[in-house]
Structure 1
Amino acid sequence: MVYDAASFYPSDILGALLMYWLGMLVTQNKDKLQLFFQLVTLLAVLLAAHTLFQSVTGTILFASSRVDTFLLRSDVDYYQIASTDTHRVGSFFIDPNWNGAFFALVFFLPLGLFVSGSHVWQKLLYLFALVLILLALLYTYSTGAWVAFLIGLTVFLVFIGSTTYRITFLLIGCGLAALIIFIFPAQIALQMQHASGNNELSLRIAAWQTALAVVQAYPWFGVGLGHQAYLIHSNIYRVPEQFVLLSHPHNSYLEWAAMAGIPVLCTFLALIGTALYQSWQNWRQSDIQLRPLIGAGIAATITLSINSISINGWTHFALSMIIWPILGSIASPALCTARWRSEN
């Protein structure tokens, strides 16, 4: 179908290659990497402000009548937390899980800028961005995003580049967590209620079981890239616990395997692994000021990778366009080349 062709091939295949390449081209040195992260942080702040605006008003700015009709449909009432009148906020991503995935991964960019920044006024701006993004993530009530976010924080502590920074941020993180629990007890309670709700984890597991059955039936070439193709072909393999039809398995890795085959999944994992290895090499060869920025990009990549176990993160047309240039920017060989030239 036209929609499937327009959403998969330009974004997840050709778009991923172009955005990764673009990320490598625009980050020739530390200053350009810093500027790129600042621009993405600005975008994140604007979307976070809109998310908070929607949480208060219930309105999506610039929304068309089609979006309003979609949000009023009965089959998307899971955006409302069961037994409450609280709605999870999706903002321009529509789906709160996608919105949460965006804020979970992008949080680490201003965090890296905060650590590497040298001026007090810059650190204050980055701190404001961090608070705003964290609040926006809170109102998505996305369990998968929060789990991935916490794992990403652990990764960032490893790659922060200084033991002093690790201890300091660990203490700050514990204090901030206690502060959030104290200031937002209702939101925390709603998050726990949503995470433990009926059909939350069980439906995800059922969707994965269905996808594994599809992969077993079509191991080499899959059923075809596209939501409609998966929706049609997966129905006969649907396990009883998956009580609704799904157009994708809510798992990017199973999505590649079921739709395109196991060889494509292996190629996809190899590409990410190679890029992360190059990023790690850049981190090893960089100085103390550049390491937090590269570490932030690595943490953002790991965060989306973990989150993609429960949603179609890597295979979402918007999220993939955000993460691939970030990964390309920290994997760029020019980062270490520029440092070598400056030293010689």
Structure 2
Amino acid sequence: MEHSLFPTENKLRFYIERLIYGIVIAMPLQPMVGDVLLWIAIVAAIIDLLRRGRLSLPTGYLSWSVMFFVVWTGLTALLSEHWQWSLMSWFYQIVAGGGMYYLVRTYITTPKQWKYFIQCMLGTAFLVCVIGIYQYIFVPNMHMKEWVDAAQFPKLKRRMASTLMNPNLLGAYLLMILSVVISYILVYVKVPQGMDAQANQRRQDALMMIPIFAILFVTMLLTYSRGIWISFCAMILYWAIFVERRLFWSLLAVPLILYCYEGEIASRLWSIFQGQDTSTDLRWALWDSTLYIVRAHPIFGIGWNTFFLVYPDYNYYIQGPHILMYHAHNLYLNILAEAGVLGLVSFLGVLFGHVYTSIRLQGDIFRQAAQIGVGALVVAVLVSGLSDFELYSHQVTIVFWQLIGLVGAFGKVHFNTK
């Protein structure tokens, strides 16, 4: 039986764990490879469940909140006027995200696995940044006209997109990774030296994370995404309030850049307060049109990922059925439009449920850093969601569910063993 095509239960869990690490590495770099690994892992997990005879309803309010969001969005997709497309999109986006959450929560449950998981995530983010820097220097931006109002920002010739294929999506991905990196740095560096070998190792880990933070931060700046910059400032405020008050001083960098520096970063920062470019005008009109969709479909919405199919009927700003707008550029309005009020409430319930669980975690500084990190992640998602809907991206969505699943794993282990 050692060489059987059907591995033992322990071997199957071993393979699933390795597949999860593979997904963490592959999804930001090459989503097609990541998807193949994801569905292999999901099928293997179903086989594992059937073998153990534990095919049952979710346990705990965190799993129930995720399950309700998945089921509700599936129901809205089924009731959609464009139900075939919506169901396919729901399966590709929501079911895959829920599956990713289940995989991490169920199979990444020990401190050693958590460490490998985070190492894979940080190493991949570093590689994404290296690829982005290479593209920024040597590869012409073919989509700059789509990304920037050239009349408003004549000096801005490049924006970094890397393997996420869009500067805003790259920025959202980096925000999620930075929520982990900076939270662990802030907690680990506070550990007094000479306590014990493990504490000293934590400090060494923090020092090793600082160069990774630096390259992630510079790459995030070079996306020139104003919404991402605002979200990062919100994360700094969060860390300054709950972790390290001295971080308030770092916010002085914004007025200093505006006053002393005349480059592209300053012009983009000034534009936040001016709001005179076509991107801002388009968003206001887009949000207004989306509100008409919400009023017409308040309960079940129009179906997941059908915004671009329905929006032309409500688009008063630029008339014409040929105008494609794939999402509402606002997380709250987009989910309201596509999944109704319960869809948005259930999604927010997932976020705040995991924040509440993280607050209740007790244990070593690894878990303390996780508490801070999930709060920063939620701040990043909710603030960036005011001006964009980056979770429209399959890559960003899967990374989001990976991190939420890790919090679920912390809570599952903590409260099951308490």
- Please indicate the TM-score interval, normalised by the length of the shorter structure: 0.7 to 0.9
Deviation at 1:127, TM superposition (A): 0.5
Is the CA contact 2:86–2:303 (under 8 Å) kept in the aligned structure 1?
no
CA distance in structure 2 between the partners assigned to 1:249 and 1:336 by the alignment = 38
Partner Cα distance (1:130, 1:182) in 2: 26
Is it true that 1:146 corresponds to 2:216 in the alignment?
no
The alpha carbon displacement at 1:320 in A equals: 1.1
| 1:206 has 2:277 as partner | no
Aligned amino acid, residue 412 of structure 2: A
Residue 298 of structure 1 aligns with which residue? 375
Aligned positions of 1:1-344 closer than 5 A: 6-11=88-93, 13-58=94-139, 71=143, 76=146, 78=148, 82-114=153-185, 115-116=187-188, 118-119=200-201, 121-160=204-243, 166-170=244-248, 173=250, 186-193=263-270, 195=272, 196=274, 197-226=276-305, 229-240=306-317, 245-282=324-361, 285-332=362-409, 333-337=411-415, 340=418
> How far off its partner does 1:256 sit?
1.9
Indicate if the aligned counterparts of 1:7 and 1:317 stay in contact, CA closer than 8 A.
Answer: no
CA distance in 2, matches of 1:206, 1:18: 36
Partner SS state of residue 261, structure 1: helix
Could you tell me which runs of 5 or more consecutive residues in structure 1 were left unpaired when the two chains were aligned.
61-67, 161-165
- Cα distance, 1:335 vs. partner? 4.3
CA distance in 1, matches of 2:374, 2:356: 12
Determine if contact 1:98/1:313 at 8 Å carries over to the other structure. yes
How far 1:296 moved relative to its partner? 1.4
SS in structure 1 at match of 2:403 = helix
Q: Which has the higher contact order (CA 8 A, sep 6+)?
A: 1
Counterpart contact for 1:88–1:96, Cα < 8 Å: yes
Identity %: 20
Deviation, 1:121, is: 4.5
What do the CA deviations read for 1:188-211 (whole angstroms, capped 9, x no partner)? 324225544412323212211111
Q: 1:241 to 1:122 in 2, by over 3 A?
A: same
Moved more, 246-255 or 178-187: 178-187
8 Å CA contact 2:331, 2:385 repeated in 1: yes
> What does the per-residue CA deviation read over 1:153-178, in whole Å, with 9 as the maximum and x for residues that have no partner?
22234444xxxxx145455x358779
CA RMSD of aligned residues (A): 3.2
CA displacement at 1:144 relative to structure 2: 0.7
Shift of 1:5: 5.3
Q: In 2 relative to 1, CA 218–279 (structure 1 residues): closer, same or farther, beyond 3 Å?
A: same
**CA distance, structure 1, for counterparts of residue 406 and residue 319 of structure 2:** 39
Instruction: Give yes or no for contact 1:23–1:328 (8 Å, CA) kept in 2.
Output: yes
Aligned partners of 2:258 and 2:270 also within 8 Å = no
- For 2:130 and 2:393, locate their aligned partners in 1 and report how far apart those are by CA, in whole Å: 22
How far, CA to CA, are the matches of 2:155 and 2:365 in structure 1?
48
Deviation at 1:79, TM superposition (A): 7.6
Deviation at 1:43, TM superposition (A): 1.2
8 Å CA contact retained: 2:183, 2:370: yes
Name the CA distance, whole Å, in 2 between partners of 1:154 and 1:304: 15
Q: Which moves more between the two structures, 264-273 or 43-52?
A: 264-273
Structure 2: how far apart are the matches of 1:337 and 1:10? Answer: 32
Q: Is the 8 A contact 2:181 2:213 kept in 1?
A: yes
Contact 1:253/1:308, CA 8 A, preserved across alignment: yes
Deviation at 1:108, TM superposition (A): 2.1
What is the rounded CA distance, in whole Å, between the counterparts of 2:154 and 2:140 in structure 1? Answer: 22
Distance 1:170 1:339, change over 3 A: farther
Does the aligned pair in 2 maintain the 1:30–1:290 contact within 8 Å? no
Superposed CA offset, 1:31-84 (max 9, x none)? 433332222111111111222222211358xxxxxxx6xx38x6x253867322
Judge conservation of contact 2:289–2:314 (CA < 8 Å) in 1: yes
Runs of 4+ with deviation above 4 angstroms: 1-7, 168-171, 174-185, 241-245, 337-340
TM-score between both structures, scaled by the size of structure 1: 0.79
Can you give the 5+ residue segments of structure 2 that lack an aligned partner in the other structure? 1-81, 190-199
8 Å CA contact 1:225–1:260 kept in 2: the answer is yes
Q: Secondary structure at the match of 1:222?
A: coil
Secondary structure of the structure 2 residue equivalent to 1:290: helix
Match of 2:76 in 1: none
- Please report the TM-score for the alignment, with normalisation by the length of structure 2: 0.66
Secondary structure at the counterpart of residue 82 of structure 1: coil
Work out the number of aligned pairs and report it.
318
1:322 CA displacement: 0.4
